[in-house]
């Protein structure tokens, strides 16, 4: 009779045999005349357990039980004992279905998650550089071990294994990032005057940028010194200068002054492209108008251009060979249909080093990140539908306004291209107070009246020097003071458009402000603009 006809598991047969042998021993003890052969033992088994007893579905076919010998009776073993309970359990384990999930950990390693299984544990120990995280209850290993990990798990003999691997987009992104050169040895080239002023978390940001080949998204919260970190990174790769800086129009002169402050280069080598210029240039920057009919030559060591001007300068920009590009407030590139996005993207993609700065990386709206990711890794993020379906809760008609697999996307960005710190995380490293000057460019139209008042003031000063009587001198002195008051008022009014432009830029990053206007004109004109921009504004007045 074949073993399968009994529909019993190996364990059940072992127990059955053990009970039968016990009964035989008892009979032998009570009656010395009674003899039992191994064949009679086998014939009694089916009657004791009818064929209607159901076998466990997960059990495997056990070897056929052969008649036992006399030695087997004494020792309590049979020929079936060669595949006893331990071996039978092992066979059963091999046949059980297993589920293993690979996913990208926030550390940048690959994590393997599965229910406890000794066979899987033994397999994970064979993966190069694999380690067990008791806290997270995960096996983790570097990306370089992924292919070996897949092979080891699939080679489990007789295993019914279901392996959920990394998403193809994740695999492609991590593989691309792993090919970037590690430039951390360039850190030593930072000038001492910069390195000594960096806070610990800022040094970490610079090293992160160098480690990832100089193509990163620096997403620190506003006020943590992203500009200085970017300048520090650029100072490490001086051999790749000149540098192109893309920034909102209100931050162009701020970038020029920061570069002049931290880097030992002549101010004349800092080129700033302005659509109109009505202010003074005491710093000595090279100012280039963008509204001229003449061709614009970007021949500075640092060339600062606003996003709005990039489409107008598309040809000279593409003709230039900028290996280093900094894109400040890179969330300005979130709209795929905007002209500035379409014009800026090719410049970023062809550069060797790209540093994107954004205090608001829109992690809750993944579709707004796509163009920035495409700028850093165009060969990875080349299909908006693949990205949208994975991370934007892709719906019909290509509408990607939602969010999905949020944790995976965040881990992927942190592992490959993004570093982000919040103020609360680095509060112990920050000074109690920081004072920062922001220089704004004033338009020619706004400065026209102010300049005319300055010319009038120069005339009065000249007359005052030539006054022939004390009465005439007093009159001219009074007129001079009156004119200076008018200049203060007029200059305050002239600054309002530039200030509002700057606030409009900042509202993208920070939803509330504390303003201390020196003149009533500021409050009168800034308040409606603040309400229009939908950000909270608190005014402190001196009265």
How many angstroms from the chain centroid is the CA of residue 217?
Answer: 7
Q: What is the pTM of this model?
A: 0.69
Report pLDDT digits (tens) over 101-133: 999 998 888 999 999 999 999 999 999 999 999
Strand ranges, E, within 445-511:
none
- Say whether domain 96-166 belongs to CATH 3.40.1170: yes
pLDDT at 179: 92
pLDDT at 95: 62
Question: 532 near 504, Cβ under 8 Å?
Answer: no
Domain 184-427 classification at class level: alpha beta
Report pLDDT digits (tens) over 122-177: 999 999 999 999 999 999 999 889 989 999 998 887 668 899 999 999 999 998 99
- Confidence band of 437 (pLDDT split at 50, 70, 90): confident
Average pLDDT over residues 419-434: 87
- Confidence band of 398 (pLDDT split at 50, 70, 90): low
Ranking 256-270, 298-312, 335-349, 505-519 by mean pLDDT, the lowest is: 505-519
Report pLDDT digits (tens) over 364-376: 889 999 999 999 9
- The residue extents of the domains of the chain are 3-84, 96-166, 184-427, 444-539
pLDDT at 392: 92
pLDDT, greater one: 542 or 212: 212
DSSP string for 497-530:
HHHHHHHHHHTTT-SEEEE--SSHHHHHHHHHHH
**Sign of the four-CA dihedral 110, 116, 118, 120:** negative
SS3 355: strand
- Confidence band of 277 (pLDDT split at 50, 70, 90): low
Q: Which range, 226-240, 265-279, 413-427, has the best average confidence (pLDDT)?
A: 226-240
Q: How far, in Å, CA of 201 to CA of 224, rounded?
A: 9
Task: Give the residue among 326, 393, 387 at the shortest CA–CA distance from 354.
Answer: 326
Report pLDDT digits (tens) over 187-211: 999 999 999 999 999 999 999 999 9
């Amino acid at each position: 009779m074949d073993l399968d006809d009994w529909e019993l598991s190996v364990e059940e047969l072992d127990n059955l045999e053990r009970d039968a042998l016990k009964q035989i021993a008892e009979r032998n003890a009570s009656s010395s005349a009674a003899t039992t052969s191994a064949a009679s033992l086998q014939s009694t088994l089916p009657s004791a357990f009818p064929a209607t007893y159901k076998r466990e579905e997960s059990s495997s076919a056990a070897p056929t039980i052969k008649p036992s010998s006399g030695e087997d009776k004494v020792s309590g073993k049979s020929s079936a004992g060669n595949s006893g309970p331990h071996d039978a359990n092992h066979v059963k384990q091999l046949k059980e279905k297993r589920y293993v999930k690979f996913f990208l950990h926030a550390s940048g390693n690959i994590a393997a998650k599965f229910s406890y299984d000794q066979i899987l544990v033994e397999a994970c120990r064979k993966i190069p550089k694999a380690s067990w995280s008791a806290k997270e209850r995960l096996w983790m290993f570097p990306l370089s071990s992924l292919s070996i990990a897949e092979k080891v798990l699939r080679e489990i003999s007789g295993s019914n294994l279901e392996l959920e691997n990394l998403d193809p987009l994740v695999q492609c992104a991590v593989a691309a990032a792993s090919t970037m050169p590690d430039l951390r040895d360039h850190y030593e080239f930072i000038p001492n005057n910069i390195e000594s002023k960096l806070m610990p978390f800022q040094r970490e940001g610079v090293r992160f940028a160098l480690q990832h080949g100089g193509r990163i998204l620096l997403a620190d919260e506003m006020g943590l010194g992203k500009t200085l970190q970017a300048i520090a990174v650029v100072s490490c790769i001086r051999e790749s200068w000149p540098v192109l800086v893309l920034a909102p129009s209100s931050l162009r002169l701020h970038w020029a002054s920061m570069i002049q402050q931290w880097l030992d280069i002549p101010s004349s080598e800092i080129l700033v492209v302005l659509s109109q210029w009505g202010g003074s240039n005491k710093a000595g920057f090279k100012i280039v108008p963008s509204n001229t009919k003449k061709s614009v030559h970007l021949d500075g060591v640092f060339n600062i251009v606003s996003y709005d001007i990039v489409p107008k300068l598309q040809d000279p920009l593409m003709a230039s060979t900028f290996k280093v590009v900094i894109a400040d407030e890179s969330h300005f590139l979130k709209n795929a249909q905007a002209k500035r996005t379409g014009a800026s993207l090719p410049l970023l993609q062809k550069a060797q080093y790209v540093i994107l700065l954004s205090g608001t990386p829109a992690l809750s709206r993944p579709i707004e990140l796509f163009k920035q990711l495409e700028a850093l890794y165009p060969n990875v993020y080349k299909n908006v539908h693949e990205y949208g379906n994975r991370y934007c809760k892709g719906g019909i008609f290509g509408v990607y306004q939602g969010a999905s697999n949020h944790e995976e996307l965040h881990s992927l960005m942190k592992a490959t291209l993004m570093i982000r710190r919040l103020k609360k995380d680095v509060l112990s490293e920050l000074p109690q107070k920081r004072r920062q000057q922001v220089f704004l460019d004033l338009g020619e139209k706004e400065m026209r009246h102010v300049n005319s008042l300055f010319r009038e003031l120069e005339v009065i000063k000249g007359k005052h020097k030539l006054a022939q009587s004390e009465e005439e001198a007093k009159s001219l002195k009074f007129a001079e003071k009156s004119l200076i008051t008018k200049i203060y008022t007029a200059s305050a009014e002239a600054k309002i458009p530039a200030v509002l432009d700057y606030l409009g830029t900042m509202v993208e990053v920070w939803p509330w402000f504390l303003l201390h206007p020196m003149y009533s004109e500021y409050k009168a004109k800034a308040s409606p603009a603040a309400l229009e921009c939908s950000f909270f504004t608190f005014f402190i007045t001196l009265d």
